[in-house]
């Protein structure tokens, strides 16, 4: 038996010590083993049969625990070669002083960006959308919800709202929202972002392929045209293990004003 298998089996031994369902105990033990670094990113999990034999539980129970952990992103399965601890993401650094789009950010890093559409349609504006976009109750909005993926790793969930008077058909947006807005002269030139920390619920954790409860960044972006009109209201959830937002800070000038940006 190799080292990795030894360590996993050591972590599995106390399955069935408590009253919880066996698959949940096994799941928790594997999660703990990953958290404590007993098994690291890329390590292979022993076969279903070996785990079942070692922990003295059925293979169905092992399969259920493993499938749950694959769903929540702790493990990955590769056809023909087995189950592994999910690789750790290389962190993406994003400047907080440049107004760029997801597609541009990823292209700059040599990564291929794509989206999985979660929703794309015309809706009546919610009270929040009305207030931020300056719309009346009868006005419509285009909503675009996407899972943003870079090099096949899901990085963020973005829910953008644009007034339907600016974007009457959300299906015009294929790969990039900013490119579509640019075509009609509506690409934003300035934005204000509010970033807060949240823990992921089940549905979002599954989309982002990370464990439920993982730390992530919730970002609200309100973007403006040069005229000062609000053009975009986007609520996003970015993976906390994948993103660093970096801001440059300057000493204020002697009159208390902000220093000149270069």
Shortest Cβ 194–ligand 16G spacing (Å):
10
Q: Does 102 bind ligand 16G (CB under 6 A)?
A: yes
Secondary structure element (H or E) that encloses residue 119, with its range: strand 113-124
Part of the chain binding ligand 16G (CB under 6 A), chosen from 15-23, 42-50, 172-180, 205-213: 172-180
Considering only residues 64-83, where is the footprint of ligand 16G by CB under 6 A?
none
Q: Does 176 bind ligand 16G (CB under 6 A)?
A: yes
- Which stretches within the chain are classed as H helix? 3-12, 22-35, 48-55, 59-71, 102-108, 127-133, 177-183, 202-208
Closer to ligand 16G at the Cβ: 48 or 158?
158
Pairing of strands 153-163, 230-239: antiparallel
Closer to ligand 16G at the Cβ: 52 or 149?
149
Q: Does 177 bind ligand 16G (CB under 6 A)?
A: yes
The CA–CA distances, whole Å, from 80 to 49, 83, 161 equal 16, 9, 43
Q: Does 142 bind ligand 16G (CB under 6 A)?
A: no
Shortest Cβ 136–ligand 16G spacing (Å):
24
**Residue 30: CA count within 13 A, CB half-sphere:** 32
Considering only residues 145-164, where is the footprint of ligand 16G by CB under 6 A?
158, 160
- 91's CB contacts (< 8 A; 6+ apart) are 241, 242, 243, 244
Rounded Cα–Cα distance for residues 202 and 177 (Å): 27
> Which residue among 72, 163, 214, 236 contacts ligand 16G (CB under 6 A)?
236
Q: Where on the chain is the footprint of ligand 16G (CB under 6 A)?
A: 101-103, 158, 160, 176-179, 219, 221, 232, 234, 236
């Amino acid at each position: 038996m190799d080292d990795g298998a030894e360590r996993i089996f050591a972590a599995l031994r106390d399955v069935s010590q408590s009253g919880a369902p066996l698959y949940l105990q096994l799941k928790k033990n594997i999660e703990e083993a990953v958290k404590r670094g007993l098994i690291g990113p890329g390590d292979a999990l022993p076969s279903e049969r070996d785990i079942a034999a070692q922990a003295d539980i059925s293979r169905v129970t092992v399969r259920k625990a493993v499938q749950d952990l694959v769903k929540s992103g702790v493990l990955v399965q590769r056809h023909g070669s087995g189950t592994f601890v999910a690789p750790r993401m290389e962190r993406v650094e994003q400047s907080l002083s440049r107004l760029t789009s997801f597609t541009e950010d990823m292209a700059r890093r040599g990564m291929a960006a794509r989206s999985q559409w979660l929703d794309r349609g015309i809706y009546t504006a919610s009270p929040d959308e009305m207030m931020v976009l300056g719309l009346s109750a009868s006005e419509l909005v285009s909503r675009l919800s996407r899972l943003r993926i870079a090099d096949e790793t899901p990085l963020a969930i973005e829910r953008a709202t644009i007034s339907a008077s600016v974007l009457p058909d959300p299906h015009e947006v294929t790969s990039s929202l900013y490119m579509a807005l640019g075509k009609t002269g509506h690409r934003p030139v300035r934005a204000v972002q509010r970033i807060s920390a949240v823990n992921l619920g089940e549905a979002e954790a599954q989309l982002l392929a990370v464990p439920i409860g993982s730390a992530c960044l919730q970002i609200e972006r309100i973007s403006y045209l040069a005229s000062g009109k609000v053009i975009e209201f986007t609520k996003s959830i970015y993976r906390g293990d994948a993103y660093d937002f970096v801001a440059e800070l300057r000493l204020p000038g002697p009159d208390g004003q902000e220093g000149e940006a270069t």
